[in-house]
Structure 1
Amino acid sequence: MTEATLPGTVAAVAPPSRHERRKRATRAAVRDAALRLAVRDGVERITIEQIAAEADIAVRTFFNHFASKEEAVVAAAAVGAEAFVAEFRARPRAESVLRAVRESVLVVMDRDDAVSRDHVRALRLMRGTPSLIPQQMAVLTVQEDALAAAIEERIGPDGGRGGLHPAAHARLCAAASLAALRIVLDRWLDSTADADDPPPLDVLRAEADTALAQLAAGLDHPGRSDAG
């Protein structure tokens, strides 16, 4: 047993190699170029050749990172989804699942950096581009799987509710909270028409509080009687 794996110690993480750093940088350049061109010209009007030229790479290099222009365009949203799950994992374990979800989305959307701005641009673009729906669904599926795993870790082996196995309960929480967040983010993005200016965070905070409070309280509602 090495020192890095002794009980109570943290395993050392080797820094990425030069090759890995270059690979990540190239992928980011392609991702940025695809989103930039799609926002400017529309997804249907751009080509892989144009994206490659914009990123200053060969076309064959493009296919080392993405299978299609649509996948490259939504990659910024995938990065945002990964950041959200990573933030959720980092939240204090004393927080409830929905509280951690709330805080995580606010932290990620409030970051004033290129990744966050590109995430918002990608979200806007996906809403108005039907051809991106398959890639959007793929991103959402990966995000739901990752969040469900993180929730299961948080609630532990005894965290099931209503007879559900903890894994099933975690999957239900992930699916419900992400559905709520999609509605919240849509309403947030609708609050301003400026594609380059994210809406105020207080709008997102209020929408998130309302939606997640409804989840916490339960969504079942008595039917309305037409009698009388």
Structure 2
Amino acid sequence: MTPDADAPLGLRERKKRETRVALSRATIRLCVERGWENVTVEDIAAVANVSVRTFRNYFSGKAEAIAASHVERMLRIADELRARPATEPLWDAITGVVLAEFGGPAEPAGAESPQARRWRDGVRLMLAEPALQGEIVKANAAAQGAFAEAVAERIGSDPAHDVYPKLVAAVVGAASSVAVEHSLTAEPPTAVGPVLAEMLERLAVGLRAPS
């Protein structure tokens, strides 16, 4: 297949991912504002300016739409990991791409930007709503799989036989979850970035890349 033939497929895939993100964000925003039980698929479609049929083409319901944000975040991290310089040590590259997604400037003690507040509210929703838990489990599995593939590509291993990429994906996912939970429960609010940076530094020491 020629490069020109590849390009439209790539564009279509990007458009599909953009639509998924827009629908997921609209779902999270409405559920945070109105409460889980007070939001319908029709509401989400209206806010996102799409038809209900379009929503159903992407998601089976609200829970899957909300969980999709986590998968999309990890897909971005995997894409960025592939794009890092080949000469960069693995854990330097992992730390850079993960903190770019989860980190950001620290907020002054007791203060939060509107964006940070929306993020916290969205995460609290995902953690607290029982109807979401099954989709979150599936999203975590998909996210780890995508990240493991990127790690395997970077170190030139076969993920079907090498457990190292899967282990890295699992522990990075766990570290991210712990950092987010700590950030949500700390008083005053604590930025995720510094906590996650410390965890990744400890992982890099104890989980060195194969030579």
Shift of 1:212: 2.3
CA RMSD, 1 decimal: 3.7
Select which of 141, 160, 171 maps to 1:176. 171
Q: Quickly say closer, same or farther: Cα 1:172–1:47, change in 2 above 3 A.
A: same
- Which amino acid is the alignment partner of residue 129 of structure 1? E
Select which of 66, 86, 91 maps to 1:93. 86
- Which amino acid is the alignment partner of residue 36 of structure 2? V
Q: Is contact 2:103–2:193 with CA below 8 Å preserved after alignment?
A: no
Select which of 65, 68, 90 maps to 1:72. 65
Q: Is contact 1:85–1:146 with CA below 8 Å preserved after alignment?
A: yes
Task: Tell me how far apart the structure 1 counterparts of residues 28 and 39 of structure 2 sit (CA, whole Å).
Answer: 10
- What SS does structure 2 have at the residue aligned with 1:63? helix
TM-score where L is the length of structure 2: 0.73
Work out whether 1:149 is the aligned partner of 2:149.
Answer: yes
Work out whether 1:62 is the aligned partner of 2:55.
Answer: yes
Which deviations, in whole Å up to 9, do the C-alpha atoms of 1:67-101 show, x marking residues without a partner?
Answer: 11111123333322221222222222233333222
Q: Is contact 2:63–2:132 with CA below 8 Å preserved after alignment?
A: yes
Q: Quickly say closer, same or farther: Cα 1:118–1:27, change in 2 above 3 A.
A: farther
Work out whether 1:16 is the aligned partner of 2:5.
Answer: no
Q: Is contact 2:81–2:94 with CA below 8 Å preserved after alignment?
A: yes
- Which amino acid is the alignment partner of residue 204 of structure 2? A
RCO comparison, higher one (Cα < 8 Å, 6+): 2
Q: Which has the higher helix share?
A: 2
Number of aligned residue pairs: 198
Task: Tell me how far apart the structure 1 counterparts of residues 161 and 91 of structure 2 sit (CA, whole Å).
Answer: 16
- Which amino acid is the alignment partner of residue 170 of structure 1? P
TM-score where L is the length of structure 1: 0.69
Task: Tell me how far apart the structure 2 counterparts of residues 172 and 24 of structure 1 sit (CA, whole Å).
Answer: 27
2:135 — aligned with what? 135
Select which of 187, 197, 202 maps to 1:209. 197
2:38 — aligned with what? 45
Which deviations, in whole Å up to 9, do the C-alpha atoms of 1:19-69 show, x marking residues without a partner?
Answer: 984x66654443332111111122233222222233343323321121111
Q: Which has the larger radius of gyration?
A: 1
Q: Quickly say closer, same or farther: Cα 1:204–1:169, change in 2 above 3 A.
A: same
Segments of 5+ residues of structure 1 without an aligned counterpart are 6-10, 220-228
Q: Quickly say closer, same or farther: Cα 1:147–1:25, change in 2 above 3 A.
A: closer
Task: Tell me how far apart the structure 2 counterparts of residues 176 and 54 of structure 1 sit (CA, whole Å).
Answer: 37
Segments of 5+ residues of structure 2 without an aligned counterpart are 106-114
Which deviations, in whole Å up to 9, do the C-alpha atoms of 1:183-221 show, x marking residues without a partner?
Answer: 122223334778xxxx54xx522x2233223323449xx
1:190 — aligned with what? 185
Identity percentage of aligned residues: 32
2:109 — aligned with what? none
